[in-house]
């Protein structure tokens, strides 16, 4: 680590220590459930693992092993320790296996996610039919957050422990094997799996796996075939089990095999069959040669040439990469292209538009590179494009993409090409300026091209996706230009030469003189026009006239369409197409400056004519043009909108200021003041019978629900009294309390009469506030924690006063979509260079001293940029914390913030859902984009990437003071999303390794671009481009994150996606379909069809089903009835009972859906489904005998 980095971390830790001391002093007063801070600091991963699991000695052993071996190996090594009892204090064999499995999962998830504690419920020993014992691992839903590898390895670890303990293998019954297959298929249907094993695969796994996988039912949907099995406790799908079997074992078989090979005790030979993919294919065995060959062809891999020789119809290569099949060799070739994929269009919903149909021309053009606010599952879009897609895209909006991964967060990058549009006045123009985009937006008739889409190399590595052919762009051209002999450096220094945007003459001259491909600025998209159109255009240009330097050619459908496809800027008048910059176009068409066509029809070779079935004129161009012309944009990336970006405070619903229970007394608003004034039968106000914890004062032995004895002012302890026999019990080491006599769990919660009125009034008095200080103070109906310890109402009073609300664990949180950024300018963060210097930034990215607000500086790994909303929220939280310290704990104010600049340098916690570890971050600035920009390593430390994920920030002191494990709900998943431990510094080796694939080079070499044309494997060029992984473990690991593309401001484009600013669903959908009509790359009929198919139909069908089997509810007291009471009225209160699903909610989309289906010409199948549904609705909601009532009935 460099001294500079040392200083950085020391600075953070100093501030953390300061806060710690203050918080400690506050906690010692005993007002809180525990008299100490409840978020321990973890120095490293080993600490986190130990803290999360609560198993002593794990950290030490992990550190010992870490130097010697990989984490996976360490996990296996620890199994021995657990079995021998040197780590963990387990008596039973099942306990030993459980400890080992949990530890393995914790290790593999870097001790961050909640899977090891929440995802594994228990391990038990059961009996095989032959009387031997086997191990059953009982998984729960949260195992999902562990990821496939850790899931799979948990099974391996269990098996290893099993064999060391001499327990037998699981011998499944046939019905159980069948059950696995049915259940996994059911789960996939209901919830969806990343990888769906075929039935045969599922059965194969079930038959061979030496451990029984079991788990909790996670959905209501039940299997219909193999039910009521003796050893399977539920008929529902067990989500955890399905995940482990499908996404773990089936998907990660190769990874597990690596470890089984090294272990003598564990032998899983069957994995090989899974890896080979021979399960579930016809033939199955390798014995049959023909079958084997058929498999090969179907898989599309390998020796297709041999197959061709035998006249095999199916061409392996063709199926694999999407190139035109060359069966027989007589057929002409086509260009190498990535195969279009429809997948991202699945589950399209109303209101979220499609931007590009799969690989459709006119859509986003793939450009390689990484902008400074880019990488780690994001895609760079030009801000002008964001505006021209009717503001549906904003920084942080998630899009589902065709490739390389599944989803991206959108980031604004203006150093790439913008969109090309046709305006109502006939002008076709490329828009590279967001302001211009906003000006002309209303006049746009058609968006001919969406501009470029920036994807970094690391994305392809991470997704292991073959490199798709690159667009021909400046950074590639300039390297070719240099290689062709040009003195690029001299030209760069020459103020008269603009290498990136040269004049026409220069560009043509360079192409001629250096024999270098034509500059991309003047390279048109010849691959998008047919040879026929190319010839027609060449003739039209040859027949055209040049008037005042502008070429006018005849306007025909062909020529206009060709120019629009080529993205040649021009103006269409009623009878002519006027092209101002026409010479590169003419030259490319083989027409000279005198408009003489230099070639005859017969000059084109048959190969050029038939290239890609004549649909691609690029070969023809190269045969007639006087220079080489590269394919401008061979790869288009299909995508559609996913989730909108997010930046809003996390409120429970209804919002909560204080975790104090008030039953129903506060009304639907849960108003504490109202509850405090409710009068009971005896005339007392605010006396409530609530379930709260029973605590006892160590001094006076009085019982109270408060954490501090009101009389003695000392901290009280929970009082565990067995409800049956009255024995007072003590918690054991693990914190569990069991009655020794009745052998059940004892809790400290009891129903007590609480004088809320008094509690509320005294809380106000304690902090010296009046009721008028806030509008409303909201409590909760009841507490969900095990011992139901309430929070001091004082905290709620101060929250209400400062306008913040509490999350279930007592913290104040703000959610933001994650985006990465590696270099920032002070001015775009609304801070000054001085601010940054104050917090330790000294130089810009080029090593120059930091003096100006527009200098680019490299962001530190734990520094984060708050959205405007987050900053405002943090200010309120800081005020709340300061008030709390001063008015409640009687300590000095800590933050003393006046304006948001004061937050720069303050510490926060970053914390992602499904995890249990917070990461300390430092505020560096602010952005108007509704996202949380931070270093990719910071996001990775929270185990997030940036493909639309969101997580929260908390103010450091708020977390230290107000978080308590005691508040956490006592249910599955209750410990998720709670800061059980904090990491004070990021070790790049101990974060989600996806972040290591972010490339950090400042440019991509020419060889890389060449490799993309071959659709090479990304790993074949890994030596050419530096990625984060390359600096891991070196002094350079915390800095040197270069980028290839700059962007003017990381907050460009709309502040909010139109999805969030538009009104109801109908408005959104209208906008979506309107946009579909406008974009050339989108087929609006398909969009309409999909919206109906994936959104409207499921909604109507679902609501119709819900209607005919619905619950009912009393309008007066809220009592719910599974079925309508025969009495008609509420059995509890006699009130009016009504339906929960009404005609309105069933009908709401029918008319729209039918109208959309008509307007966009959907398939008859879709229309008929709608018609059948409409008639069903009529049949249910209309009275047949009333229907025909018309005037005739009354005559």
Residues near 963 by Cβ (< 8 Å), separated by ≥ 6? Answer: 38, 39, 809, 810, 811, 978, 979
- 469-475-478-480 Cα dihedral, nearest 10 degrees: -30
Name the minimum Å distance from CB 126 to other proteins.
23
H-type alpha helices, 567-703: 583-588, 606-610, 618-624, 672-677
| DSSP strand pairing (407-412 vs 378-381) | parallel
- 209-215-218-220 Cα dihedral, nearest 10 degrees: 90
Distance CA 61, CA 64 (A): 5
Nearest CB to other proteins, comparing residues 290 and 1183: 1183
Residues 135, 158: contact at Cβ < 8 Å? Answer: yes
Distance CA 419, CA 461 (A): 28
Name the minimum Å distance from CB 1108 to other proteins.
3
Q: Give the burial string for 808-836 (b: 16+ CB within 10 Å, else e).
A: bbbbbbbbbbbbbbbbbbbebbbbbbebb
Nearest CB to other proteins, comparing residues 282 and 733: 282
Residues 504, 584: contact at Cβ < 8 Å? Answer: yes
Q: Partners of 368 in the beta sheet? A: 455
Residues near 325 by Cβ (< 8 Å), separated by ≥ 6? Answer: 315, 317, 318, 331
Name the minimum Å distance from CB 1155 to other proteins.
18
CA angle 258, 260, 261 (to 5 degrees): 70
Distance CA 952, CA 111 (A): 19
Nearest CB to other proteins, comparing residues 653 and 1185: 1185
Nearest CB to other proteins, comparing residues 442 and 1179: 1179
DSSP designation for 1035: G
For residue 794, CA distances in Å to 380, 716, 779, 952 come to 47, 18, 12, 25
Name the minimum Å distance from CB 1093 to other proteins.
9
Name the minimum Å distance from CB 449 to other proteins.
33
Nearest CB to other proteins, comparing residues 20 and 1121: 1121
Distance CA 1072, CA 1084 (A): 9
Nearest CB to other proteins, comparing residues 73 and 199: 199
Residues 516, 481: contact at Cβ < 8 Å? Answer: yes
Of 507, 533, 512, 502, the C-alpha closest to 621 is 533
Cβ neighbours of 390 (radius 10 Å): 20
Nearest CB to other proteins, comparing residues 496 and 1109: 1109
Distance CA 254, CA 276 (A): 10
Name the minimum Å distance from CB 1091 to other proteins.
15
Nearest CB to other proteins, comparing residues 556 and 1176: 1176
Nearest CB to other proteins, comparing residues 241 and 1114: 1114
Q: Under the rule (CB under 8 A), what is the footprint of other proteins?
A: 178, 182, 185, 199, 222-228, 1097, 1101, 1104-1105, 1107-1112, 1122-1128, 1131, 1137-1139, 1142-1143, 1164-1165, 1168-1169, 1172-1173, 1175-1177, 1179-1186
Residues 637, 743: contact at Cβ < 8 Å? Answer: no
Name the minimum Å distance from CB 1163 to other proteins.
8
Nearest CB to other proteins, comparing residues 255 and 281: 281
Encoded tokens for 324: 């035109």
654 preceded by cis ω (within 30°)?
Answer: yes
Nearest CB to other proteins, comparing residues 1077 and 1171: 1171
Encoded tokens for 751: 């129903």
Nearest CB to other proteins, comparing residues 318 and 1135: 1135
Name the minimum Å distance from CB 298 to other proteins.
19
Cβ neighbours of 353 (radius 10 Å): 28
Nearest CB to other proteins, comparing residues 489 and 1179: 1179
Nearest CB to other proteins, comparing residues 92 and 1138: 1138
Of 889, 887, 654, the C-alpha closest to 773 is 887
Name the minimum Å distance from CB 189 to other proteins.
8
Nearest CB to other proteins, comparing residues 173 and 893: 173
Nearest CB to other proteins, comparing residues 573 and 1168: 1168
Nearest CB to other proteins, comparing residues 203 and 1060: 203
DSSP designation for 521: G
Name the minimum Å distance from CB 468 to other proteins.
29
Distance CA 1173, CA 353 (A): 26
Nearest CB to other proteins, comparing residues 697 and 1141: 1141
Largest interatomic CA distance in the chain:
108
For residue 387, CA distances in Å to 381, 640, 692, 868 come to 11, 15, 54, 21
Distance CA 394, CA 382 (A): 10
Q: Partners of 738 in the beta sheet? A: 745
Name the minimum Å distance from CB 1125 to other proteins.
7
Residues 117, 52: contact at Cβ < 8 Å? Answer: yes
Name the minimum Å distance from CB 244 to other proteins.
21
Name the minimum Å distance from CB 970 to other proteins.
20
Name the minimum Å distance from CB 1098 to other proteins.
9
Distance CA 766, CA 794 (A): 7
Match 């003739």 to its residue by tokens: 539
Name the minimum Å distance from CB 206 to other proteins.
15
Name the minimum Å distance from CB 1176 to other proteins.
4
């Amino acid at each position: 680590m460099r001294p500079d980095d040392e200083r950085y971390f020391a600075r953070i830790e100093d501030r953390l220590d300061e806060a710690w001391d203050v918080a400690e002093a506050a906690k010692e007063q005993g007002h809180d459930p525990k008299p100490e801070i409840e978020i321990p600091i973890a120095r490293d991963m080993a600490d986190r693992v130990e803290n999360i699991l609560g198993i002593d000695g794990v950290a030490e052993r992990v550190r010992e092993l870490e130097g010697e071996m990989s984490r996976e190996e360490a996990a296996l090594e620890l199994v021995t320790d657990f079995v021998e009892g040197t780590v963990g204090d387990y008596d039973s064999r099942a306990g030993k296996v459980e400890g080992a499995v949990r530890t393995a999962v914790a290790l593999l998830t870097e001790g961050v996610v909640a899977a090891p504690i929440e995802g594994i419920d228990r391990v038990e020993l059961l009996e095989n039919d032959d009387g031997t014992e086997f191990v059953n691992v009982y998984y729960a839903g949260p195992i999902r957050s562990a990821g496939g590898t850790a899931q799979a390895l948990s099974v391996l670890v269990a098996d290893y422990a099993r064999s060391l303990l001499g327990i037998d293998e699981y011998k499944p019954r046939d019905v159980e094997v069948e059950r696995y297959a049915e259940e996994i298929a059911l789960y996939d249907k209901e919830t969806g799996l990343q990888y769906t094993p075929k039935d045969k695969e599922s059965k194969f796994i079930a038959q061979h796996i030496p451990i029984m996988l079991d788990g909790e039912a996670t959905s209501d949907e039940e299997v219909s075939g193999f039910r009521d099995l003796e050893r399977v406790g539920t008929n529902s799908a067990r989500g955890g089990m399905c995940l482990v079997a499908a996404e773990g074992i089936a998907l990660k078989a190769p990874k597990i095999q690596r470890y089984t090979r090294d272990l003598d005790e564990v032998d899983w030979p069957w994995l090989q069959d899974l890896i080979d993919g021979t399960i579930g294919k016809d033939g199955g065995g390798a014995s049959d040669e023909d079958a084997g060959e058929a498999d090969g062809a179907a898989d599309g891999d390998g020796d297709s040439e041999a197959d061709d020789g035998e006249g095999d119809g199916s061409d392996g290569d063709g199926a694999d990469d999407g190139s035109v099949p060359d069966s027989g060799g007589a057929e002409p070739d086509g260009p190498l292209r990535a195969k279009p994929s429809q997948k991202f269009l699945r589950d399209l919903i109303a209101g979220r538009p499609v931007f590009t149909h799969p690989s459709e021309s006119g859509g986003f053009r793939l450009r390689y590179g990484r902008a400074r606010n880019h990488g780690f599952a994001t895609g760079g879009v030009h801000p002008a494009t964001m505006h021209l897609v009717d503001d549906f895209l904003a920084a942080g909006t998630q899009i589902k993409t065709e490739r390389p991964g599944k989803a991206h967060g959108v980031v604004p990058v203006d150093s790439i090409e913008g969109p090309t549009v046709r305006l109502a006045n006939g002008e076709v123009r490329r828009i590279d300026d967001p302001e211009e985009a906003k000006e002309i937006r209303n006049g746009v008739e058609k968006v001919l091209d969406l501009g470029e889409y920036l994807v970094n190399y690391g994305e392809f590595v991470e997704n292991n996706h073959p490199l798709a052919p690159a667009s021909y762009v400046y950074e590639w051209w300039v390297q070719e230009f240099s290689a062709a002999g040009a003195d690029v450096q001299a030209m760069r220094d020459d103020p008269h030469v603009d290498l990136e945007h040269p004049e026409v003459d220069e560009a043509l001259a360079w192409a001629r003189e250096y024999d270098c491909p034509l500059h991309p600025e003047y390279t048109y998209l010849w691959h998008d026009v047919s040879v026929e159109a190319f010839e027609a255009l060449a003739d039209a240009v040859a027949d055209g006239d040049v008037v005042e330097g502008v070429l006018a050619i005849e306007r025909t459908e062909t020529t206009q369409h060709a120019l629009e496809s080529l993205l040649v800027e021009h103006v269409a008048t009623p009878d002519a197409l006027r092209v101002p910059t026409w010479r590169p176009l003419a030259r490319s068409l083989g027409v000279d400056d005198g408009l003489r066509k230099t070639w005859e029809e017969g000059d084109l070779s048959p190969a050029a004519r038939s290239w890609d079935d004549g649909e691609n004129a690029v070969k023809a161009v190269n045969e007639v043009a006087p220079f080489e012309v590269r394919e401008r944009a061979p790869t288009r990336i299909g995508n559609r909108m996913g989730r909108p970006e997010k930046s809003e405070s996390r409120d429970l619903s209804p919002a909560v200021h204080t975790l104090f229970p008030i039953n129903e007394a506060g009304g639907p608003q849960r108003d504490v003041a109202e509850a405090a004034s409710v009068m009971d039968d005896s005339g007392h106000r605010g006396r409530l019978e609530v379930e709260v914890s029973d605590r006892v004062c160590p001094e006076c032995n009085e019982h109270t629900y408060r954490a501090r004895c009101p009389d003695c002012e000392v901290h009280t302890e929970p009082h565990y009294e067995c409800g049956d026999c009255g024995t007072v019990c003590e918690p054991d080491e693990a914190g569990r309390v069991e009655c020794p006599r009745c052998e059940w769990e004892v809790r400290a919660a009891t129903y007590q009469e609480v004088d809320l009125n008094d509690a509320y009034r005294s809380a106000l008095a304690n902090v010296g506030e009046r009721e008028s200080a806030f509008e409303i103070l909201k409590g909760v109906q009841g507490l969900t924690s095990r011992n139901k310890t309430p929070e001091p109402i004082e905290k709620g009073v101060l929250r209400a006063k400062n306008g913040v609300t509490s999350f279930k664990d007592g913290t104040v949180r703000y959610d933001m979509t994650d985006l990465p950024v590696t270099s920032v300018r002070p001015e775009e963060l609304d801070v000054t260079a001085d601010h940054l210097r104050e917090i330790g930034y000294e130089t810009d990215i080029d090593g120059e001293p930091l003096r100006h607000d527009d200098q680019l500086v490299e962001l530190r790994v734990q520094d984060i940029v708050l959205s405007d909303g987050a900053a405002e929220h943090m200010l309120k939280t800081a005020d709340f914390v300061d008030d709390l310290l001063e008015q409640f704990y009687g300590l000095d104010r800590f933050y003393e913030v006046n304006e948001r600049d004061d937050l720069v340098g303050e510490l926060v916690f970053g914390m992602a859902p499904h995890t249990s570890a917070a990461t300390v971050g430092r505020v560096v600035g602010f952005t108007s984009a509704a996202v949380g920009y931070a270093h990719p390593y910071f996001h990775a430390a929270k185990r997030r990437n940036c493909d639309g994920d969101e997580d929260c920030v908390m103010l450091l002191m708020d977390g230290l003071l107000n978080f308590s494990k005691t508040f956490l709900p006592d249910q599955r998943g209750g410990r998720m999303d709670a800061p059980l431990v904090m990491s004070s510094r990021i070790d790049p080796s101990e974060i989600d390794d996806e972040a290591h694939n972010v490339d950090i080079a400042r440019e991509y070499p020419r060889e890389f671009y060449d490799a993309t044309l071959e659709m090479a494997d990304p790993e074949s060029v890994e030596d050419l481009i530096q990625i984060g992984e390359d600096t891991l473990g070196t002094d350079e690991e915390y800095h040197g994150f270069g980028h290839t593309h700059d962007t003017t401001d990381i907050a460009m484009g709309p502040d909010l996606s139109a999805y969030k600013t538009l009104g109801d669903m109908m408005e959104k959908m209208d906008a979506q379909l309107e946009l579909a009509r406008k974009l050339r790359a989108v087929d609006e009929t398909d969009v309409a069809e999909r919206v109906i198919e994936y959104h409207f139909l499921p909604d109507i069908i679902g609501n119709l089903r819900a209607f005919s089997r619905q619950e009912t509810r009393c309008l007066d007291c809220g009592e719910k009835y599974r079925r309508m009471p025969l009495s008609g009225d509420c059995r509890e209160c006699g009130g009016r009972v009504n339906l929960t699903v009404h005609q309105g909610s069933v009908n709401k989309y029918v008319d729209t859906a039918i109208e959309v289906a008509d307007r966009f010409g959907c398939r008859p199948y879709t229309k008929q489904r709608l018609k059948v549904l409409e008639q069903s609705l009529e049949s249910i909601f209309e009275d047949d005998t009333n229907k025909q009532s018309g005037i005739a009935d009354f005559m």
